[in-house]
Amino acid sequence: MNYKKILAAFASGAMIASMSLGISAHEAGKIDTMIENMTTEEKITQMIMPAFRTWQDEDGNQTNVTELNGELEALLERHGFAGVILFGQNTPYTESNVRLIDEIRKTGMADEGRPDLFIAVDQEGGTVSRLGQGCQFGGNMSLGAVNDTDVTKKAAGIIGSELKAIGYNVDFAPVVDVNNNPGNPVIGVRSFSDDPEMVVAHAVSFIEGLHENGIAAALKHFPGHGNTSTDSHTGLPLISSTYDELKKCEFIPFQASIDAGAEMVMTAHIQYPNIEKETYISKKTGEMINLPATLSKTIITDILRKDMGFDGIVVTDSMVMDAIREHFDALDAAKMAINAGVDILLMPYEINSSETIEEFEEYIDSLVEMTNKGDIDIEMINSAVRRIFELKEKQGLLDGGYGAADIEAVVKNAKETVGSAEHHAEEFEIAKKSITLLKNDDNTLPIKNNGEKTVILTAYDDELMSMKYGVDLLKSNGYLNSSTEVVIDTYKNMSDDELKDIVNGAKNVIIITELYGSSGLDPAGKSGVMFSKVDKLIENTHQNGGKAIVISCYLPYDTARFQNADAILAAWSMKGMSEDPRVSENGVKAYGPNMPAAIYLSFDCDEKPTGKLPLNIPKLTDNYEYSQEMLYERGYSISYSDPILGDANGDGKLDVLDAVYIARKLAQHNGDELPEIADFNKDNIVNISDAAAIARYLANAKRH
């Protein structure tokens, strides 16, 4: 199609259509004219967003796609896709990322005047972060632990500014799922909280941060993936919730985020048998299964569009995930998704070789034929293309004409913006604010700079740099001197004897734990081996007279598993460092800030953990299963004792003698109030009565 002629004809006097959402009547008329002149194939391909992570040549050699080859160029020249989604294989370095996007956009607009492309990425922050360089922060639950919406907006703003500098215009974020199932294997720390209202507050702030930097937001994963026990990447989940039940929880963040202007909603490949009754014979099992939300007209059109008023773009989760690929014929799945009200089919086909490109072309031809036969509703296609064009118009992508006359200037700006020292400094400060202290028996933390040996043990070798970085920061800031011995090692492959030897002579032993699923809690289970080693480390430390400190660096439910530790911190992210961020020839690689932040705050450094739990932590049964009783409730945290307070008689207990000591300290401060300390008898004089009340107050705070 000659888009340039159509646009020129319209500009000279085409019809003016009625107003469409968010655009003028003139723009709506232009869009209608473009759609009327498109072929069915052009409309179908405008509804597809492919990916090409890797490429296999004729000899079977596989490489990551960081620049377009001739066959990928030809594919993009032939078809006007909605856009392209990039992954970690495509994005190792900022400069190559900029140049790849530049190639994609110029090639994809080979037909002069063809609409520009959405360039999308999953940059949620934390666990799901694709950029090889830049800031990824600790993820949504880490932001939930900070629980300051201004901080969430700042983090999202930095993410948005880095994406914009590289050339992206769509972020498949934020996740607005409510993580109300501790056994969820795929959402977990990707969620802000298990409280829908808390998710609302942070999701809206995250969207604002993206929008202020010109990045469109896509809400994940409608109708809600937080209450599943199956990962849709590897299976087909089922949630038995009713419509009314979803309205009371899962729908709340989606509705608020839609009202806040989110441009896209990503669907979940989840069955809801109490909502969608239509079935399909699974090609894997031969059994009747309910249509998942991605293929459900009831869920997408009736609920999302009509009941919730969403008129933006509905994009599927990847159509090559096992939840779809293993159970549904690819063409049937595409047909049902489009007829259900989906606008963009995300990664409907694997594109990684010459053979798969040929198969993909056949897939497109088949969808065209199905549309011409009436199996796919052409009006649903027209509506989808219209919504895509409306967003492209708002983003300045509709008229095409992309040109990077000064690509070198773009590269220079991106390299100065992405992962800048200023951004990484903000990232680390936010990480420190998220660290949450849950247990601190006998003031185990903070570790004093008194020359006593401390051992830091992490699970995996690629996390050693994170530990070293945290310790080095303490040293450079004057909080650790050469007389304080710190040993850093990994425990994954240690024998029982080595687990004993490593803690020998240590006053403090910090152990990093990472829970990836509920099966890891049971030491008898296949994935419980690592936690069995942690059990032995805690036991060996206590036998040697030392203190054991557990830092939970992923799902926080393992904090209930190690209640025999003397102190417990939640750090929310297990992302490590592959190299020292202070020494790099090719720019700093992206890294997780939370691990070094937790190490930093474990020592006496004039700062304290201030995070609070953004979700409930249940107690475990004797079988290492989640109970209905809560160990730590949402909002819970404790803090280190104020430096001015002390254990007067050194017996590790808060008593009246300590209270008298506290009173004297308060008197020395001329009666100034300190945090959490008050004049209990209101006479503005610190006396024994006040001291006793302070002792009772502190003892009660210690118990809780």
d(CA 108, CA 328): 30
8 A C-beta contact, residue 573 and residue 535: no
d(CA 308, CA 563): 44
d(CA 215, CA 441): 46
Among candidate residues 233, 522, 580, 604, the one labeled active-site is 233
8 A C-beta contact, residue 514 and residue 482: no
Instruction: Give the DSSP letter of residue 448.
Output: P
Reading the block at residue 262, the tokens are 């989110």
- Nearest partner of 278 among 268, 270, 289, 287, judged by Cα: 289
Q: Is 374 left (phi over 0), alpha (psi -120 to 50) or beta?
A: left
Instruction: Give the DSSP letter of residue 306.
Output: I
Tell me the helix, strand and coil percentages in the chain, rounded to 5: 40, 15, 45
d(CA 698, CA 241): 44
d(CA 239, CA 242): 9
Active site residue 233: yes
User: What DSSP assignment string belongs to 623-634?
Assistant: TS-EEEEEEE-T
Give φ, ψ of 250 to 5 degrees: -60, -40
d(CA 292, CA 324): 9
Q: How many Å from the N-terminal Cα to the C-terminal Cα in the chain? A: 69
Reading the block at residue 78, the tokens are 């032939």
Contact partners, residue 10, CB within 8 Å, separation at least 6: 29, 30, 33, 34
d(CA 540, CA 534): 10
Pairing of strands 54-56, 62-64: antiparallel
d(CA 635, CA 614): 6
- Nearest partner of 686 among 704, 701, 666, judged by Cα: 666
For the beta carbon of residue 361, count every other beta carbon within 10 angstroms.
Answer: 14
d(CA 100, CA 76): 13
d(CA 274, CA 186): 23
Residue owning tokens 């972060």 = 129
Q: Which helix (H) or strand (E) holds 426?
A: helix 421-434
Among candidate residues 122, 195, 317, 690, the one labeled active-site is 317
Active site residue 542: no
- Nearest partner of 87 among 284, 351, 287, 478, judged by Cα: 351
Burial class (CB in 10 A: 0-12, 13-18, 19+), 704: exposed
Catalytic residue numbers?
A: 233, 317
